[in-house]
Amino acid sequence: MIDAAPAIRQATPADVAVWAQLRLGLWPDADDPLRELEQSLADHDGAVFLACLADGEAVGFAEVRLRHDYVNGTDTSPVGFLEGWYVQPAWQGHALGRALLVAVRDWTRAAGCRELASDSRVEDERAHAAHRACGFEETERVVYFRMALDAASPR
């Protein structure tokens, strides 16, 4: 049980290691160098928010970025895009994800956006449910394809 409301705060360069560790919970194969993550925190087209317990331990994060290119299912530009959203499993169900989204929405509005978008893997039904529970609406589904272009590729 959480004794007090979680603190949601914007990450600083001093938070880069804990943010990198939390990212592994969402993206186990993430191998972004800490220096690159630190530089992304200085980018004015994005922000990272941390959900922290009373003792300061970060147990969740949300990454938001402004996207100026077309974002599937949106009508405006730029669009705030929820690049990553994660709460450690032991803390899910305690409204930390919702609290993170409040900070993301506020930041996105302050950046002049009228829409916030996100995505999720097609098979991740839990993520879909979390998005819907927080007010997102599904706009479309897309399957991406790739083709290797080497010398042996068929013509």
CB count, 10 Å around CB of 24? 12
What pLDDT, on the 0 to 100 scale, is given for residue 123? 93
What H or E segment, with its residue span, contains residue 35?
helix 34-41
Alpha carbon distance 107, 10 (integer Å): 10
What pLDDT, on the 0 to 100 scale, is given for residue 153? 59
As a whole number, mean pLDDT of residues 79-95 equals: 95
Please give the residue that has the higher pLDDT: either 153 or 52.
52
Nearest residue to 43 via CA among 71, 64, 15:
64
Q: Place 150 in a pLDDT band, splitting at 50, 70 and 90.
A: confident
Query: What mean pLDDT value characterizes the chain?
Result: 92
- For residue range 32-80, what is the model confidence (pLDDT) as tens digits? 888 899 888 888 899 999 999 999 999 999 999 999 999 999 999 999 9
Return the SS3 of 97. Answer: helix
Contact 11, 49 (CB under 8 A): yes
For 67, the token pair is 């996207």
Alpha carbon distance 68, 24 (integer Å): 27
